[in-house]
């Protein structure tokens, strides 16, 4: 009975049964979150990790066409922060490459992500773009481009639209310790700050930008210190504690929605895999990864849930089983789908006319 | 009929679109209370409010990026670059983000980025540029370069209504030098992608755009008077998309072509037009296609230097005579 209510909540079908919700499910137990919501947080983190594990298998089978980017050990920062948004109000986020979890929370499906990585014709971008670079304004996510920092001005523009049209909606944009060195980041956050736009800037401090450690990236000790330069609040939180991430982001989201402007949040976490799957992490000092393995955000959250009595081992096991079943189904559905037809490559550059094939196409070779 | 300057025509076009469609808004440096460095948006903030005429920090990437974000959400932003030279600061945002958005992500980005371009005004290396070649190479962008007051108005209105991003390069030399009768109340919408014959002729063609159109017309006048040559002047108006039909038609009509532009020669737009003529109408040519362009140097400040580097009417006359003799 309790499990069924949880499933309903996770699927973004009605959060509660209209008739007789179990009392334990409807009461906030911590951070204003109900038991069912705490289970949702677990579900999204575990789904993120399991989906990436499936992608690793597909990558090794050469079914993933390009690179594979992991967020192992960073699931809490993506999921906890995105969960602080309100989808029913139309909030929009823009992820970076290690924020798969945030997109899942906003309603992106594993099937879409799998199709993207495998460049399928039916992928959200019809095979035109890679990995999690896709978007849906209705569900509330705008895919990044590879040029770090660029999404900060873009999301400032989305938030500007919210402000101009007096809608109580909030934008959230992710950057990392590397992206914060770009000019676009500075221009975007400064513009958003001076305009008091409803924007939350989440900086994932995961220690590395590709191979470059934070101490080579910037002279500041804390990325949140940068907030002073923009006249906005800056906070640092434990990025591997999903509840802390949720709480600190929720405060910033509420501030933004109340018209109080931008907040910069630094989430301390760690990138346990290389920049992409090919990267052997030769630059990482011995013992560092192992130390962070002991600070795994999912393990920590499982302990918290079970020790506090917010979830039973059986409940979590049922969620795990459900995730694996969902992923099995998604992979079975799309694994053998075709790639896009070549002649679809020339449309949608412009709204009003297609690009013509070159003159020598159609000649005898 | 009221006589309207090029700048006033542009202003009118912007004003009419702001009145017509509340999704249209302006953002840029000093565009609000001050009315813009060249006063293109003077009076706009008092009419439309600070919410729709937004003074920004000196942040071209943020101006274009924020415009893109707002455009995804259904707005119709018009970005002003204080001088078009500074559009290079937004090059990444335009070429990587904006230009690709529809194709890679099915995101409409109906923005206009406009600003004063061009030399002959003693502006030196950073207030005189013509950046069209830097963007012609980017699929997904449209580029327009009005020469007349009518097109200044008609192209800004069409650009704002276009569902794709449009770079609108106005020429500051023309701002207050060109005056035309534009009937009040007439809805002027110059179609993007269509060239205009600025002067009919049958002996040779000058293909050009923006302020160079007037130099070509002066040269054509002199050649008619002194040489009896009838020179056709084709004002492209749009560079992206380019009006191949009009280019082919003038080549087939006169069989001799000069391409004239104010920007430097190497990698300039004239090279692209030459290649198209080669593909479209090679067998119609009676002479090699030739170019008149700025010399390949940064544009210098001193009048003697600037005048030497930039194409002048004499250059066009000399080049046309060479082509006619060929």
Give me the residue spans of the domains in chain A: 67-311
> Is there a contact between B107 and A353 if contact means CB atoms under 8 Å apart?
no
Inform me whether the C-beta atom of residue A194 falls under 8 Å from chain B C-beta atoms. yes
Provide, as residue numbers in chain A, all residues whose Cβ is less than 8 Å from the Cβ of B63: 191
What was the pLDDT predicted at A325?
98
Cβ-contact A87, A139 below 8 angstroms: yes
Interface contact flag, B105 A134, Cβ < 8 Å: yes
Residues in chain A where the model's pLDDT stays below 50: 1-23
Q: Does A188 contact B66 at a Cβ distance shorter than 8 Å?
A: yes
pLDDT along chain B (326 residues), means of 10: 93 98 98 97 98 98 98 98 98 98 97 98 96 98 98 98 98 97 94 98 98 98 98 98 98 98 98 98 98 98 98 98 98
Which tokens in the block code for residue B236? 């492209």
- Rounded to whole angstroms, how far apart are CA atoms A10 and A83? 12
At A8 the pLDDT is: 31
Indicate which residues of B carry an active-site annotation.
127
- Measured CA to CA, the distance from residue B199 to residue B230 in angstroms comes to 9
C-alpha angle B20/B25/B28, rounded to 5°? 145
pLDDT at site A299: 98
Of A145, A191, A348, the CB nearest to B102: A348
Asked if B111 has any chain A CB less than 8 Å from its own CB, the reply is no
**Cβ(A301)–Cβ(A41) below 8 Å:** yes
Distances, alpha carbon B208 to alpha carbons A220, A306, B132, B235, in Å: 52, 75, 13, 5
Q: Which value does ipTM take for this structure? A: 0.95
Domain B196-325 classification at class level:
alpha beta
B183 touches chain A (CB under 8 A): no
Residues in CB range of A114: below 8 A, 6 or more apart: A51, A54, A55, A58, A330, A331, A334, A335
Longest dimension (CA), chain B: 60
Distance of alpha carbon B258 from alpha carbon A36, whole angstroms: 74
Q: What tokens were used for B325?
A: 């003799």
User: Smallest Cα–Cα separation from B46: which of B56, B57, B31?
Assistant: B31
Question: Which residues of chain A have a CB within 8 Å of the CB of B51?
Answer: 164
Provide the pLDDT for residue A45: 98
* Residues 104-143 of chain A whose Cβ lies under 8 A from any Cβ of chain B: 125, 128-129, 133-135, 137, 142-143
Q: Does B107 touch chain A (CB under 8 A)?
A: yes
Cα A315 vs. chain centroid, distance in angstroms?
25
**Contact criterion met (CB < 8 Å) for A158 and B69:** yes
State residue B1's pLDDT score. Answer: 67
- Put simply, the answer to whether A154 touches B103 (Cβ < 8 Å) is no
* Three-class secondary structure assignment of chain B: CCEEEHHHHHHHHHHHHHHHCCCEEEEECCCCCCCCCCCCCCCHHHHHCCCCEEECCCCHHHHHHHHHHHHHCCCEEEEECCCHHHHHHHHHHHHHHHCCHHHHHCCCCCCEEEEEECCCCCCCCCCCCCCHHHHHCCCCCEEECCCCHHHHHHHHHHHHHCCCCEEEEEECCCCCCCEEECCCCCCCCCCCCCCEEEECCCCEEEEECCCHHHHHHHHHHHHHHHHCCCEEEEECCEEECCCHHHHHHHHHHHCCEEEEEEEECCCCHHHHHHHHHHHHHHHHCCCCCEEEEECCCCCCCCHHHHHHHCCCHHHHHHHHHHHHHC
**What is the model's pTM?**
0.94
- Among residues B34, B323, B58, which one has the least CA distance to residue B206? B323
Q: What pLDDT shows up at residue B2?
A: 81
Which candidate from B67, B93, B241 shows the least CB-CB separation from A150? B93
Mutant choice from B32, B66, B276 vs A, greatest count of A C-beta within 10 A: B66
Torsion on CA atoms A55, A58, A64, A69, rounded to nearest 10: 30
Handedness of CA B279, B284, B286, B291 (dihedral sign): negative
A351 neighbourhood in chain B, CB within 8 Å: 102, 108, 162-164
CA distance A288 to A295: 11
- Counted across chains A and B, CB pairs separated by less than 8 A come out at 134
Q: Are A190 and B59 a contacting pair at CB < 8 A?
A: yes
Name the pairing type of β-strands B76-80 and B24-28: parallel
Cβ atoms of A326 and A109 closer than 8 Å: no
CB burial of A281-295 (b: ≥16 within 10 Å; e: otherwise) equals eeebeeeebeebeeb
The verdict on whether omega for the bond into residue B241 sits within 30 degrees of 0, i.e. cis, is yes
Residues of A in contact with B165 (CB under 8 A): none
pLDDT at residue A26 in the model: 76
Contact with chain B for residue A291, Cβ under 8 A: no
Give CATH for domain A67-311: 3.40.50.970
Give residue limits of the domains in chain B.
3-181, 196-325
Is the Cβ pair A128, B142 closer than 8 Å?
no
Q: Is B106 on the interface with A (CB under 8 A)?
A: yes
Chain length of chain A? 365
B3-181 in CATH: which number? Answer: 3.40.50.970
Are domains B3-181 and B196-325 of this chain identical in fold? yes
Q: What is the pLDDT of residue A365?
A: 84
B155 CB-near residues (< 8 Å, 6+ apart)? B13, B144, B146, B168, B190, B192, B237, B238
For B213-233, b/e burial (b = at least 16 CB within 10 A) is bbbbbebbebbeeeeebebbb
3-state secondary structure chain A: CHHHHHHHHHCCCCCCCCCCCCHHHHCEEECCEEHHHHHHHHHHHHHHHHHHHHHHHHHHCCCCCCCCCCCCCCHHHHHHHHHCCCHHHCCEEECCCCCHHHHHHCCCCHHHHHHHHCCCCCCCCCCCCCCCCCCECCCCECCCCCCCCCHHHHHHHHHHHHHHCCCCCCEEEEEECCHHHCHHHHHHHHHHHHCCCCEEEEEEECCEECCEEHHHHCCCCCHHHHHHHHCCCEEEEECCCHHHHHHHHHHHHHHHHCCCCCEEEEEECCCCCCCCCCCCCCCCCCCHHHHHHCCCHHHHHHHHHHHCCCCCHHHHHHHHHHHHHHHHHHHHHHCCCCCCCHHHHHCCCCCCCCCCCCCCECECC
The terminus-to-terminus CA distance of chain B in angstroms comes to 45
């Amino acid at each position: 009975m309790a499990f069924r209510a949880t499933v309903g909540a996770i699927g973004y079908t009605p959060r509660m049964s209209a008739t007789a919700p179990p009392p334990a499910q409807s009461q906030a137990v911590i951070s204003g979150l109900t038991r069912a919501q705490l289970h949702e947080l677990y579900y999204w983190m575990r789904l993120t990790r399991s989906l990436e594990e499936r992608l690793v298998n597909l990558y090794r089978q050469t079914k993933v066409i390009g690179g594979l980017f992991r967020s192992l050990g960073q699931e809490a920062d993506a999921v906890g922060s995105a969960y602080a948004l309100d989808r029913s109000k139309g909030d929009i986020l823009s992820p970076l490459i290690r924020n798969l979890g945030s997109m899942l929370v906003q309603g992106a499906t594993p099937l879409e992500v799998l199709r993207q990585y495998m460049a399928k014709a039916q992928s959200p971008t019809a095979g035109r773009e890679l990995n999690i670079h896709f978007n849906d304004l209705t569900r509330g996510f705008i895919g990044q481009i590879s040029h770090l920092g660029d999404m900060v001005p873009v999301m400032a523009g989305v938030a500007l639209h919210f402000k101009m049209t007096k809608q109580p909606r909030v934008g959230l944009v992710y950057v990392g310790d590397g992206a914060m060195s770009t000019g676009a980041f500075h221009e975007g956050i400064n513009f958003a700050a001076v305009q008091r736009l409803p924007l939350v800037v989440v900086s994932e401090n995961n220690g590395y930008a590709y191979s470059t450690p934070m101490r080579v990236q910037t002279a500041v000790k804390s990325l949140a210190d940068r907030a002073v330069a923009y006249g906005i609040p800056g906070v640092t939180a434990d990025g591997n504690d999903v509840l802390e991430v949720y709480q600190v982001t929720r405060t910033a989201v509420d501030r933004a929605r109340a018209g109080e402007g931008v907040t910069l949040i630094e989430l301390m976490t760690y990138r346990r895999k290389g920049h992409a799957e090919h990267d052997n992490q030769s630059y990482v000092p011995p013992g560092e990864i192992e130390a962070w393995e002991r600070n795994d955000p999912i393990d920590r959250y499982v302990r918290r849930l079970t020790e506090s009595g917010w979830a039973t081992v059986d409940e979590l096991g049922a969620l795990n089983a459900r995730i694996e079943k969902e992923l099995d189904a998604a992979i079975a559905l799309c694994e053998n789908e075709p790639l896009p037809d070549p002649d679809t490559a020339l449309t949608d550059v412009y709204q009003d006319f297609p690009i013509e094939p070159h003159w020598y196409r159609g000649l005898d070779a | 009929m009221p006589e309207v300057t090029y700048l006033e025509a542009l202003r009118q076009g912007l004003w009419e679109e702001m009145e017509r469609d509340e999704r249209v808004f302006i953002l840029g440096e000093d565009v609000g209370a001050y009315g813009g460095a060249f006063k293109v948006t003077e009076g706009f903030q008092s009419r439309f409010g600070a919410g729709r005429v937004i003074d920004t920090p000196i942040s071209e990437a943020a101006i274009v990026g924020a415009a893109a974000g707002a455009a995804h959400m259904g707005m119709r932003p018009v970005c002003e670059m204080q001088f078009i030279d500074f559009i290079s600061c937004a090059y990444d945002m335009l070429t990587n983000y904006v230009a690709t958005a529809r194709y890679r992500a099915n995101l409409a980005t109906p923005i206009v980025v406009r600003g004063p371009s061009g030399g002959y005004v003693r502006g030196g290396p950073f207030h005189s540029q013509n950046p069209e070649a830097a963007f012609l190479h980017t699929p997904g962008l449209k580029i327009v370069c009005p020469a007349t007051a009518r097109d200044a108005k008609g192209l800004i209105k069409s650009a704002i209504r276009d569902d794709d991003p449009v770079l609108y390069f106005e020429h500051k030399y023309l701002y207050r030098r060109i005056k035309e009768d534009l009937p009040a109340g007439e809805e002027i919408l110059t179609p993007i992608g269509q060239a205009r014959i600025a002067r009919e002729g049958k002996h040779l063609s000058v293909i050009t755009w923006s302020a160079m159109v007037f130099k070509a017309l002066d040269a054509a006048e002199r050649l008619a008077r002194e040489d009896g040559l009838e020179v056709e002047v084709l004002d492209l108006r749009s560079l992206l998309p380019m009006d191949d039909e009009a280019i082919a038609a003038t080549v087939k009509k006169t069989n001799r072509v000069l391409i004239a532009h104010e920007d430097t020669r190497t990698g300039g737009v004239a090279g692209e037009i030459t290649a198209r003529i080669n593909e479209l109408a090679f067998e119609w040519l009676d002479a090699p296609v030739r170019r008149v362009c700025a010399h390949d140097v940064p544009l210098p400040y001193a009048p003697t230097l600037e005048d030497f580097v930039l194409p002048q009417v004499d250059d066009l006359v000399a080049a046309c005579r060479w082509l006619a003799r060929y």
